[in-house]
Amino acid sequence: MQLPDTVRDLQQQLRQAIADSAPLVVRGGASKSWLDPHPERTHGARVIDARAHQGIVAYEPSELYVTARAGTPLGELEAALAEHGQCLPCDPPRFVRDGHAATVGGMVASGLSGPGRLSTGAVRDFVLGASLLNGRGEVMSFGGQVMKNVAGYDVSRLLAGSMGSLGVILDVSLKVLPQPRAEATLVFEMPQQQATEQVNRWCGQPLPISASAWWAEPSGRGLLHLRLRGARAAVGAACSALGGELLQAPRADALWASLREQELDWFDATWQPSSRQALWRIALPPTTPPLDLPGETLVEWGGALRWLRGDADATAVREAAARAGGHATRFRGGDPAVPVYTPPAAPLDAIHRRLKLAFDPHGLFPDCFGAA
């Protein structure tokens, strides 16, 4: 198969790095660069810029799949889907700031999902296939373009959240879904624990719940925001049954978009480079009670995702998350000496190291997750 010129160029850069024993860092739009666990290594590494490798390769709206090159701007892909009344339902964030533009490859490499994760699944659940330039300079292909073509060990989904540690993502095939016919947002005043319990009860009922978010206003008043999506009759019936205050569509659209992009006032301080406040991303079983940690909390995904903003001790945060059966990521800010990701337990670390060795035997790409 004839490789595109952009892939051959990337391949040449990688082979030169092998010859020079030079470390590499993959970059797209650099919209999530703060998640780099080893910034000191990045500064001394050669950068492989994947943005030139862009474009939608195949799109079959009737088959609900699209294949795009990794450097394709995420906004461009979403606009193409919208023309056919379709979308990426996991709401992947773009984090467009300072001229950075999120790419399809960065979406998969970071594995980050937005509010829609509650009802539809994570980014990895929509990855049907992918091609990768590994640490030997080989182009590898995994999976397919539709669900029925995927057989065997699903390596393509392994790339979701890999943060460029296994190689250069080249192309990705994604499952897409129709945009919802109707949408409504309801607001309820209640404390965090009650909100978590209530959302989990509602999620156990046949209700078209798409997303949830709870946080406390500066006054201390706790507000639960519930997004409903689906058929008009189902959304209307749910609104009547649940009550609450109906948020008008323009305000609701702006709220969920700003939550996805972390542009809510709640997140403001965590974007300041001079701030010593840390923003922690804590994944937990959804029914976990509020963690006894100092700082302000914002809760998504029915309690499964907790954002903690403040100066809580890193060890205390990670220990509290582990006791509850979860883990914590230093998402932004805080002490740069604290690892971004929770070091894996020994069995997971052993699996990770074997995978890393198989994909990147020369150790060209940063090891984002291995234990020290």
Mean pLDDT of 151-159: 76
Is residue 329's pLDDT more than 90? yes
Task: Decide which of 101 and 311 is more confident.
Answer: 311
- Kindly report the backbone phi and psi dihedral angles of residue 94, in degrees, each rounded to the nearest multiple of 5, phi listed first: -100, -35
Which residue is associated with the tokens 């719940």? 209
d(CA 49, CA 42): 13
Q: Which domains does the chain have, with CATH numbers?
A: 5-178+352-359 (3.30.465.10), 182-260 (3.30.70), 265-333 (3.30.70)
Mean pLDDT of the chain: 91
pTM (whole model) above 0.85: yes
d(CA 302, CA 263): 20
Mean pLDDT of 227-241: 97
What is the torsion angle, in degrees rounded to the nearest 10, for the CA atoms of residue 350, residue 354, residue 356 and residue 360? 150
pLDDT at 72: 96
Length of the chain as a residue count: 372
Is residue 188's pLDDT more than 90? yes
Is residue 1's pLDDT more than 80? no
d(CA 168, CA 49): 10
**Per-residue pLDDT tens for 14-52?**
999 999 999 999 988 888 887 877 666 666 788 999 999
Residue 67: its H or E element: strand 65-69
pLDDT at 39: 65
CB-based burial of residue 84 (10 Å sphere; 0-12 exposed, 13-18 middle, 19+ buried)? middle
User: Sign of the CA dihedral 237, 239, 240, 246?
Assistant: negative
Mean pLDDT of 86-95: 93
pLDDT at 99: 66
pLDDT at 372: 45
Is residue 226's pLDDT more than 60? yes
H-assigned helices in the chain: 5-20, 39-43, 74-82, 104-110, 117-120, 155-158, 192-203, 232-242, 249-260, 314-323, 346-359
Cα distance between the two ends of the chain: 41
d(CA 97, CA 99): 5
Measuring CA to CA, which residue among 193, 307, 191, 180 is closest to residue 252?
180
Helix/strand number for the chain, H first, E second: 11, 17
d(CA 195, CA 299): 9
Is residue 153's pLDDT more than 70? no
> Quick check: helix, strand or coil at residue 108?
helix
H-assigned helices in 140-216: 155-158, 192-203
d(CA 250, CA 260): 16
**Per-residue pLDDT tens for 250-274?**
999 999 999 999 999 999 888 877 6
Ranking 35-39, 56-60, 125-129, 280-284 by mean pLDDT, the lowest is 35-39
| Token pair of 137 as six digits | 């300079």
pLDDT at 152: 56
CB within 8 Å of 259: residues ≥ 6 apart: 114, 115, 213, 300
- Kindly report the backbone phi and psi dihedral angles of residue 345, in degrees, each rounded to the nearest multiple of 5, phi listed first: -65, 160
